[in-house]
Chain A
Amino acid sequence: MSAEPLLRLDNVSRIYGDEVQVHALDGVSLTIESGEFVSIVGPSGSGKSTMLGLLGLLDLPSLGELWVTGAAVSELTDAERSRLRGDVVGFVFQQFHLIPYLDARRNVETALLYRGLSSSARRRLAMNALERIGLADRADHRPVQLSGGEQQRVAIARAIVTDPALILADEPTGALDSTNAANVMEIFRGLHSPERAVAIVTHDPAVAASAGRRISMRDGKIVADEIVRRGDAGSAFGGTLGDPSATSTSGTLS
């Protein structure tokens, strides 16, 4: 095991535009170790999505450096970055983003393509992943034949089928009713393990409360980075929602 953290942002800025420059991220430094369960919260325009793109290797820093398992991302070619993304990160999106013309199993298998696996090995791994989230019996259903909650579970199976070190979720419960949302969050809690970090970008305080660590953002900067204790879910709820500055008074994690 390398001593390098899973993810390390070193004074990262992401600047859009040439003449009128927008600092979507402004000098952010952050470390995420494997096995952490992190939530990233903040109002719209705070830089959460930009952060998600960078953590997911879908984007590159304008300034500063992002290190993933010790590799400096801006020094990688596009192909190397794609490979690293496929190996390290599993995505879960708010809108599920399943491929509409493929059934559940083949959607999960999409994450296993171009890895030199035989089709039978791919099928076996995909079925295992679907079993883990309890949808093996829906393997041959296409997305339109599944409920929203089921689609999101298929997306989770697709994210975990490669056994990634980081699950990166973007408002995973945003398009679900409360029952399905609770169900999906339960699965997320189960995914989190000493070898696997989970990072969830969310508006939802209840979702954020599930995480062990909450990173609050505003105007492209991290305004709070705190440990949330399980029992504190209720208080974290009130604190974050009402007054972000109040939370920064509680101890931040260095």
Chain B
Amino acid sequence: MSNIRDLLGVASSGLTAKLTRTLLIMLGPIIGVSAIVAAVGLTESAKGDLQQTLSQLGTNLIKAEAAGSFGTQDPTFPEDVVVRVESLSTVESATAVINIAGVVTSPYSAADSYYTAFPIPVIAADSAFLDVMDVGLVSGRWINSFDVSTAGRAAVIGAGLADEFAYIPGTERTISVGGFKYGVVGVMDRVVLEPTLDNAVVISPQAADRDFDTGLEATTLYVRSDPSQTLVTEAALPVAINLGGNEEVNTSVPTDALESAAAADTTLQAIVALMGGLALVVGGVGIANVMSISVIQRSSEIGIRRALGHGRGLIAGQFMLESVVVGLFGGMAGAGVGSLVVAFVSRSRGWVVVLRPGLLLMGVAAAIGVSVLAGLYPSTKAARLEPLETLRLG
């Protein structure tokens, strides 16, 4: 045991003798471990944040789009689609939406050509829309029963469009929808699950039917399912909508898209972690290289120590320990730097920092493992030096 204590002293004085060189070879494990910790830590923090977002959004929203039978143009759902869907026991609520195609919507007549090229989506929605989408209003009001009964030209715009439109709450605004002037009565908050709605104009189905002759048949349906039965509901929706007809229905769960986007992020971070591992290995090669040169430079020191009675094992142990100390401190510094990166990035994105102690320990252990491998060659070489040759007697 006292041998190990003595070895530690010898290794540390050897390392501090050439401090700059020691710090330089420490860079390898520092960069490698910090990249691994940062990549894995960020992946986990992002995943934790996604879980939080998903639990807030609810993963039970299902979107169904009418696809019609083969060759149908502008397919729609039956008029009583909401009633049909709500008859399913696993459905909590549903709202029907009409996508109005081919209508140029423009806040200013001067901008008509721009908005012809980049159309603003116009939809007609009912009073259940806000509840089912779980979205609120930034300002103003939703389309009310008066608007519905009179087919009044009232519009609610998405928050994105309101920014573009420079909408100021309380200021009277109109927007030209297919040449008809609609009064903007409210601004809808951003809809994380359906980002296209951010730039949409929402009007009542009655106004849409009167001004654009859409009829009252919906093109899109949003359904909230019993959270534990989302898959069952998604599978049952086409049957409930069609009642045995041959109309096609496309269903999707919007949160799935978020999850797969996050999975794509994970791939990127796995690549970063892999490159961190690569940096660690290259760092190990660097340690092996520098230590081998150091063994040659210190051959006379090795001869002296052998002459003083230190056996080959202790000489090998001295150089192995120097390598391990570089790996240990480099790994710890790297874990620290990586943690700082995770904390900094997570904070800037408003994530909760997820840093498992196991990840940090694993990073340090990887650095030590690499440094042990790196130390094998130089320490063996040091142990094999013949003191008679390095001391140049006589």
A and B from one complex? yes
Which residues of A are in contact with B by a Cβ distance under 8 Å?
Answer: 44, 48-49, 52-53, 56, 58-59, 78-79, 82-87, 89, 91, 93-95, 97-102, 106, 110-111, 113-119, 158, 162, 170-171, 201
**B391–A97 CB distance below 8 A:** yes
Cβ contact within 8 Å between B13 and A102: yes
Residue numbers in A under 8 Å from B195 (CB-CB): none
Min Cβ gap A192→B in Å is 20
Which residues of B280-306 are within 8 A (CB) of A? 300-301, 303-306
- Which B residues have a C-beta under 8 Å from some C-beta of A? 2-3, 6-7, 9-10, 13-14, 17-18, 300-301, 303-314, 387-388, 391-394
Count the A-B residue pairs with Cβ separation under 8 angstroms: how many? Answer: 88
The answer on a CB contact under 8 Å between B311 and A79 is yes
Q: By the criterion CB–CB under 8 Å, are B13 and A170 in contact?
A: no
Give the shortest distance, in Å, between B325 (CB) and chain A (any CB): 16
Which of B300, B301, B311 contacts A82, CB < 8 Å?
Answer: B311
> A residues within 8 A CB of B314?
82, 114
Contact B393 A53 (CB under 8 A): yes
For the complex formed, measure the closest distance between the CB of B166 and the CB atoms of chain A, giving whole angstroms: 71
The contact sample of 28 A-B pairs, CB cut-off 8 A, is A59-B388, A78-B312, A79-B312, A82-B309, A82-B312, A82-B314, A83-B309, A85-B309, A86-B309, A87-B309, A93-B393, A97-B300, A97-B304, A97-B307, A99-B301, A99-B304, A100-B301, A101-B14, A101-B18, A102-B13, A106-B13, A113-B10, A114-B2, A114-B7, A114-B309, A114-B314, A158-B308, A170-B394
- Choose among A58, A94, A99, A101 the residue that contacts B306 (Cβ–Cβ < 8 A): A58
- CA separation between A98 and B298, bound complex, in Å? 12
Complex Cα distance, B111 from A101, in Å, reads: 79
User: Measured between C-beta atoms, what is the minimum distance from B271 to chain A in Å?
Assistant: 42
CB distance from B392 to the nearest CB of A (A): 7
Cβ contact within 8 Å between A58 and B388: yes
> A101, B13: Cβ atoms under 8 Å?
yes
**B307 contacts across to A, CB distance below 8 A:** 56, 58, 85, 89, 91, 97
Contact of A52 among B13, B308, B311, B393 (CB under 8 A): B393
B residues near A106, Cβ cutoff 8 Å: 13
Q: What is the distance, in angstroms, from B272's C-beta to the closest C-beta of chain A?
A: 39
The reply to whether B311 and A97 contact each other, CB–CB distance below 8 Å, is no
Which of B300, B303, B309, B313 has its CB near the most chain A CB atoms (within 10 A)?
B309
Q: A44, A102, A110, A118: which contacts B308 (Cβ < 8 A)?
A: A110
Q: Which residues on B sit within 8 Å (CB–CB) of A82? A: 306, 309-312, 314
Contact residues in B for A91 (Cβ distance below 8 Å): 307-308
The 9 closest A-B CB pairs, nearest first, are A86-B309, A49-B394, A101-B17, A82-B311, A79-B311, A116-B2, A49-B393, A113-B6, A111-B308
Among residues of B, the one whose C-beta sits closest to the C-beta of A83 is B309
Q: Which of B300, B310, B312, B394 contacts A113 (CB 8 A)?
A: B310
Q: Which of B9, B303, B311 makes the CB contact (< 8 A) with A78? A: B311
Distance in Å: Cβ of B5 to nearest Cβ of chain A: 8
Question: Bound complex: CA of A229 vs CA of B176, how far in Å?
Answer: 126
Contact assessment for A114 and B393 in the assembled complex, using a CB-CB cutoff below 8 Å: no
Q: Identify the closest chain A residue to B313 (Cβ).
A: A79
Query: A56 contacts which chain B residues (CB < 8 A)?
Result: 307
Q: Are A93 and B306 in contact (CB under 8 A)?
A: no
Task: Give the distance in Å from the alpha carbon of A39 to the alpha carbon of B6 in the complex.
Answer: 35
- Closest chain A residue to B303, Cβ basis: A97
Highest count of chain B CB atoms <10 Å: which of A48, A53, A95, A115 = A53
